[in-house]
A and B are shown apart, each in its own frame.
Chain A
Amino acid sequence: MTEIERIRTAFRVTDADEADGHLSEQQWESLACGELDHPDHSAALDHILGCRQCTETHQSLLVLREHAHDFDPGAPVPEITRKSSSHRWIFTGVLAAAATLVVVILQPLGPGLTNPGSPPPSDPALRSSQKAQTATPLSPIGPVPASAVVFSWEPSPTAPVSIVQLIDESGEVMWTGHETEKTSIEWPGNLAKRSGHYYWRVLSVGGATGGKQASDLVAFELTESLP
């Protein structure tokens, strides 16, 4: 028996001192339909977690709640689905905001552009100690014709080995490249160049921390499709 199994078994053979105060059928119904107010909801969950009998009832109701909507449109939408969906939107929004910020910061300081009175963008004084170990994506940024897309970056000064990650519009990693000491690579041959919005970043391997340091995420848009 593993350590966690031993702890779980021991936990389950002892009920907390909350054997009283079980939820009524009406309360179970309200909980399963998402109708309990916050304080009542919290109190119900605290009781459920302290009472094995109610834990089992609750776990069964979670199965019901998760699957009833599959065949009965009148049943509540599963909270798990709603939550995943809302977090997906939040994640997409955060990615978009981060990418916008990167574009705003990097574009005026990109190659060939200088900002009078400011140090060059690669000046370590501009970066935190952690950022000093990450690579700097250079292109693509913003709208790019599919025929011209090439990933290029300035490698981390402390970790010259890089891995490129390509991320789709919904935040899913769609491709991760091999470790390379190059500073530019072509679009992966097994991926069609479909027009749309993408993100990419560079993972710097090794360095002082020994792990992988991710660069900022950069947004770009393929303005045309190519097979």
Chain B
Amino acid sequence: MNEEEFGHLVRQYSRLIRSAVARVAGPSAAGICDDVEQRVLLALWQAMPGEQMPDHPSSYIYRAAVRETVRAVQGLKETFELGPEADKADLSAPPDALLQAKELGRAIRTALSEIGTDRRRAVTAHLAGYEVKEIMVMFDWPYHKARNLIARGMADLRRKLDARGYSD
């Protein structure tokens, strides 16, 4: 692989990491994602070991891309003083609404701790925003099992919340 090809690969990874970060930063963070893309581009070039271009840098650069993605997401708050959508919702919500949400959130966490392991994992992932196909991969479940665990786990959760008086 020559330097031009390597540069092309790095640019593709930078764009992909930009999309990956955008998933959690939200659509309003386009400018921030531009900055992330530039930083990642630079970091991937700098991560090249020595002056010698490896023959097959792909798996090396994929690993570097993983590290840069982790750093970019974890650095969102610190670097740009911006959190994900949920955080922004927190700040704009009236204090009593936030208090109620936190109370319900604690009840949800308690209820989840009382249901079976697989259903708990399925529902937790569902509430955290994972898609069904991602949940399948995470736990090595076939499609129908993942769907059923989410549906039954959500029914369990609703019953337990009803029993605690969170029925509206």
Q: Which residues of A contact B (CB under 8 A)?
A: 6-14, 16, 25, 28-29, 32-33, 45-46, 49-50, 52-53, 55-57, 59-64, 67-68, 71-76, 79-80, 83-84, 87
User: Is there an interface contact between A8 and B62, defined as CB atoms closer than 8 Å?
Assistant: no
Q: Which residues of B contact A (CB under 8 A)?
A: 9, 12-13, 16-17, 19-21, 23-24, 56-63, 65-67, 69-74, 84, 86, 89-90, 98, 101-102, 104-106, 108-109, 121, 124-125, 127-130, 133-134, 136-140, 142-143, 157, 161
Report the bound CA distance from A83 to B131 in whole Å.
15
What is the predominant secondary structure among interface residues of chain B facing chain A? helix
User: Is there an interface contact between B86 and A25, defined as CB atoms closer than 8 Å?
Assistant: no
**Cβ contacts under 8 Å, B127 to chain A:** 7-8, 11-12
User: Is there an interface contact between A7 and B142, defined as CB atoms closer than 8 Å?
Assistant: no
**Cβ contacts under 8 Å, B16 to chain A:** 63-64, 67-68
Check A72/B23 contact, CB under 8 A, given A14-B105, A28-B67: no
**Cβ contacts under 8 Å, A53 to chain B:** 74
Query: Which A-B residue pairs are the 7 nearest by beta carbons?
Result: A74-B58, A14-B105, A10-B104, A63-B20, A56-B24, A60-B20, A10-B105
User: Is there an interface contact between A83 and B137, defined as CB atoms closer than 8 Å?
Assistant: yes
**Cβ contacts under 8 Å, A62 to chain B:** 134, 137
Report the bound CA distance from A46 to B124 in whole Å.
10
Closest to A12 in B: B86
Contact of B66 among A6, A28, A74 (CB under 8 A): A28
Contact of A33 among B66, B128, B161 (CB under 8 A): B66
Check A13/B105 contact, CB under 8 A, given A28-B67, A60-B69, A60-B73: yes
Extra A-B contacts (16), CB below 8 Å, given A55-B129, A59-B24, A72-B9 = A8-B127, A10-B108, A13-B105, A45-B139, A46-B121, A52-B86, A56-B73, A57-B74, A59-B23, A61-B20, A61-B66, A62-B134, A63-B16, A63-B19, A74-B60, A74-B62
Pull 23 A–B residue pairs with CB atoms less than 8 Å apart, ordered by A.
Answer: A6-B104, A7-B161, A9-B86, A9-B101, A10-B101, A10-B104, A10-B108, A11-B105, A14-B105, A16-B109, A25-B67, A25-B71, A28-B66, A32-B66, A33-B66, A57-B24, A59-B129, A62-B134, A63-B23, A74-B56, A76-B62, A83-B136, A84-B133
User: Is there an interface contact between A14 and B125, defined as CB atoms closer than 8 Å?
Assistant: no
